[in-house]
Structure 1
């Protein structure tokens, strides 16, 4: 009777596997290494670091939350969510805020996270407020109202870090820095005692300053798991069968003038240049409909008012703003020499404005510039650092060296719109496009939903896992029914990932997907759990040890 029951179970299991998709039954898996390639390069990864280029600045935004965390973070809707602070409240006039510290959180060196330690970390940078500890809470006080303080504390440069006695800088994120070669490579190691649970992968191997061609080669040869993809290569990547991690439009591409207009004639010339650009054609052909045409600094999904800024080409009006016939205005437009997309768009802009009588000369510029003289107009790409509209606008203005209007009443709902309109009034900046950021992932990379990994600037690699060799070699959908019955008859157990046995107590710390994390004790006692390898561990508390 017992053998007959096993046969029926085997037949039912085989039938189910023929109906379900191959990846449908996979669950998160602990262990393994994730190999990441990127074109940016960082000399150091710290909240106080200041990358010199937009590419490096964007890389810092994606990697910093893996190692360093702030008191709060902003979700994709721009609302604050808890990190090292689990609750907060303010006075009626927003001049005083109280933040409750998360209990049990630790730094990478094992020291506890307390209110007094966080106050010391927060006072290392210049603040427009006073911060101190009171009855185990962090208190912020200011003479002026601070209604947007949670959004300010969610900025990357407000992340918590502290120096150690050995000269290193530690944070509280899901990974700690294991190795660091400035501008070349880094190894991020899973932090076992993270308050949110241990990350799925053991280590992240990061190779920086890799050209796109080298990244593609590593992905094709199985030497990389995650690589950057230029936005113009998205269609080609999907056609080759690779999955994509694509953010919302997070990057502003624009023409930036190095100085304000010198005269009304110069202002009209810049307006004519903006009206002569055919954004829709460039979006269809060069960008393959990835991203959106932009007439505003902030994308529509952040501000909600982007559609109020005109992006339609108007050749007739552009010609009416030009000087008398016979005078041909000329501009030299610089672009980053290593950016192929910027070169293609600069050349297309030259064709667009030529139709209205403006001559545009694209000029490649090394990064950083080797010459002291740079073109008067630059085609720039600026990452948007945060989802909050006011902080995002302030970040863009600071990155470009622009000043926000001083008389802005930020308490009014339309204040951000008015401030942006004021920034664009003198045409020092001509917005062109808002572009997404794209990554291609290899076949062994797994995750629950793409939007959980990458939707805004942080790259949540703590929620990614990789398929190991043991799991891949005995997947149910890759064996025959006879093999299935034979393995059952010999009492082989399947890697069920996290099903605790009746004896013993499994770890209780859980990640966001509600799976217990595998503690480092599974590496001991003469063997390893199959969550991390193929060796046996007779003391493991999981059925997944075969």
Structure 2
């Protein structure tokens, strides 16, 4: 049916985790009778609890220690609250800050913290908590995956590279901790979106100073709508409503349990068995079936997300040769993968920045006539032929969509004489392998952290901690720096477009598709609103009127 069944040169390795049961299997300690009852209640979707299926586990509850996966940001924004937060529709709203003002030159932002912002232990949230948090994110010994997102802050890059001390960072606590001043290197139109991200959360300085286990369950305190109470790694994470949260009376569910589903397919099964109220990121290849079977529950919406494959450009890998990268790119039929292999759940893409990005024209990878012939010639020029075929390690994280796209790529590359060694892994292991450079080609995606092209283009800068391809191009870096300093929005946009053009001509990555957010939300849950960033805080969810009446 797909036309890619002959994969004699592709091998597949990796270990699938066993299917999760509907109830948690493990704990840090034995479940008490009360906890077991709570777990059963959560699994049955009672009105006082919300059950959410997420693709992978948290790497940590420390905002600076996550791997960068989208589900980690979902959890962080439930348990922490930054200076700025996000409404149900995805709009920016005040968070821990009651209000703010910006200087005439756009470089100094002054935030006044709300008087009722408190940690879950009742302690007051202070500007010092944010100073500590930003320094922690940029501490070179921490190696935070999102450190570069905060580079607009004055001296952030120098601090993160170890050239300046943490105290040089442009964040200051004033007025006895009630005011936070953030100085920027340059005007940054999307700075509030950065500050709404889960990694921009404060840290409890009052606890860190006296408790080295501050980030562990039973010790951790948070300032968001919920606070963690139980965590069984690779099984579930449970959070309870934070009674000290300033808007706790508007939080409708007493608890949220995030169940780690071993596959997106199992998430659908558990949702249909009423074991999940919400299933996040269901497989695109099930879109048409879900439109028929779960029309009321399915939320399919355009989002700012790029689905691509990273080329390892480090010397010693065959993909460090731009001729190889171009050949692999030319051999790919994106329309076939998006429309046939994945059944229309994605849109073919030839650029890193999605076409739906407002105020920006995405720059596409170059195309060519007689693509297969051109690809074979490029491989021959690079020293590969039938007697010495190109062999690549192709990594992907375990899901049906990713498996199908990887197999399709391997089949297409086989036609130009390339042998693929496929390696699959659970998402946290896959992300770790990418960061360690253990791949030639690896499945990747980037969901916009803010609605600006920079959120995608910054990932290819030589200083980015999310530069999966380990790509380095001085011309690209210079254009990004010029765009950062540009005051005129038209000039800034042109510089960003020029930068993407450089990267696409260099085949820094293999853009494949743009994403649609695909989520299942039970009709018993109301408050969900589709938005381009696919951000949905649990505090906005509530039992539907019908469900509330039944309980």
**TM-score when normalising by structure 1:** 0.69
Out of 298, 316, 320, which is 2:370 matched to? Answer: 316
Equivalent residues in 2 for 1:306-385, closer than 5 Å: 306-310=361-365, 314-320=368-374, 322-323=376-377, 327-328=385-386, 330-336=390-396, 338-353=398-413, 357-367=416-426, 368=429, 375-385=439-449
Equivalent residues in 2 for 1:415-434, closer than 5 Å: 415-434=495-514
Establish whether residue 273 from structure 1 lines up as the match of residue 328 from structure 2.
yes
Cα distance in 2 between the residues matched to 1:470 and 1:81: 29
Q: 1:333 to 1:346 in 2, by over 3 A?
A: farther
Establish whether residue 153 from structure 1 lines up as the match of residue 195 from structure 2.
yes
Establish whether residue 171 from structure 1 lines up as the match of residue 222 from structure 2.
yes
How many residues were matched structurally? 435
Q: 1:337 to 1:298 in 2, by over 3 A?
A: closer
Secondary structure at 1:88 match in 2: strand
Q: 1:185 to 1:363 in 2, by over 3 A?
A: same
Out of 230, 253, 259, which is 2:313 matched to? Answer: 259
What is residue 356 of structure 2 aligned with on the other side?
301
Cα distance in 2 between the residues matched to 1:264 and 1:147: 34
Secondary structure at 1:289 match in 2: coil
Per-residue deviation at 1:265? 11
What is residue 240 of structure 1 aligned with on the other side?
293
Secondary structure at 2:373 match in 1: helix
Per-residue deviation at 1:73? 4.3
Per-residue deviation at 1:319? 1.8
Out of 79, 85, 91, which is 1:67 matched to? Answer: 79
Is the Cα–Cα contact under 8 Å of residues 336 and 364 in structure 1 kept in the other structure?
A: yes
Is the Cα–Cα contact under 8 Å of residues 303 and 532 in structure 2 kept in the other structure?
A: no
Cα distance in 2 between the residues matched to 1:237 and 1:254: 25
Secondary structure at 1:157 match in 2: helix
Per-residue deviation at 1:379? 3.1
Q: 1:247 to 1:182 in 2, by over 3 A?
A: farther
Is the Cα–Cα contact under 8 Å of residues 88 and 529 in structure 2 kept in the other structure?
A: no
Equivalent residues in 2 for 1:391-402, closer than 5 Å: 391-395=455-459, 398-399=465-466, 400=468, 401-402=470-471
Q: 1:318 to 1:307 in 2, by over 3 A?
A: farther
When the two chains are superposed, the root-mean-square deviation of aligned CA atoms in Å is 3.7
**Which blocks of at least 5 consecutive residues in structure 2 are unaligned?**
1-45, 139-152, 157-168, 487-491
Higher mean alpha-carbon deviation, 230-239 vs 298-307, is at 298-307
What is residue 345 of structure 2 aligned with on the other side?
290
Structure 1 residues 352-396: Cα deviation after superposition (integer angstroms, max 9, x where no partner): 3455x3434251333537999955222333444333332343246
Is the Cα–Cα contact under 8 Å of residues 75 and 81 in structure 1 kept in the other structure?
A: yes
Equivalent residues in 2 for 1:44-59, closer than 5 Å: 44-51=60-67, 57-59=69-71
What is residue 507 of structure 1 aligned with on the other side?
none
Secondary structure at 2:231 match in 1: strand
Cα distance in 1 between the residues matched to 2:340 and 2:359: 26
Is the Cα–Cα contact under 8 Å of residues 253 and 434 in structure 1 kept in the other structure?
A: yes
Q: 1:173 to 1:213 in 2, by over 3 A?
A: same
Per-residue deviation at 1:133? 3.1
Equivalent residues in 2 for 1:91-170, closer than 5 Å: 91-126=103-138, 128=156, 129-135=169-175, 136-141=178-183, 144-148=185-189, 149-162=191-204, 164=207, 167=214, 168-170=219-221
Is the Cα–Cα contact under 8 Å of residues 337 and 408 in structure 2 kept in the other structure?
A: yes
Cα distance in 2 between the residues matched to 1:270 and 1:171: 45
**TM-score when normalising by structure 2:** 0.68
Secondary structure at 2:327 match in 1: helix
Structure 1 residues 226-283: Cα deviation after superposition (integer angstroms, max 9, x where no partner): 2241121122122112512345334432232222589999433432332232111221
Establish whether residue 441 from structure 1 lines up as the match of residue 493 from structure 2.
no
Cα distance in 1 between the residues matched to 2:354 and 2:204: 35
Is the Cα–Cα contact under 8 Å of residues 236 and 258 in structure 2 kept in the other structure?
A: yes
Q: 1:65 to 1:248 in 2, by over 3 A?
A: farther
Cα distance in 2 between the residues matched to 1:434 and 1:213: 21
Out of 96, 106, 124, which is 1:84 matched to? Answer: 96
Structure 1 residues 193-242: Cα deviation after superposition (integer angstroms, max 9, x where no partner): 43344311111122224334543333233222122411211221221125
**Which blocks of at least 5 consecutive residues in structure 1 are unaligned?**
1-29, 474-532, 534-546
Is the Cα–Cα contact under 8 Å of residues 54 and 261 in structure 2 kept in the other structure?
A: yes
Is the Cα–Cα contact under 8 Å of residues 292 and 433 in structure 1 kept in the other structure?
A: yes
Secondary structure at 1:113 match in 2: coil
What is residue 254 of structure 2 aligned with on the other side?
202
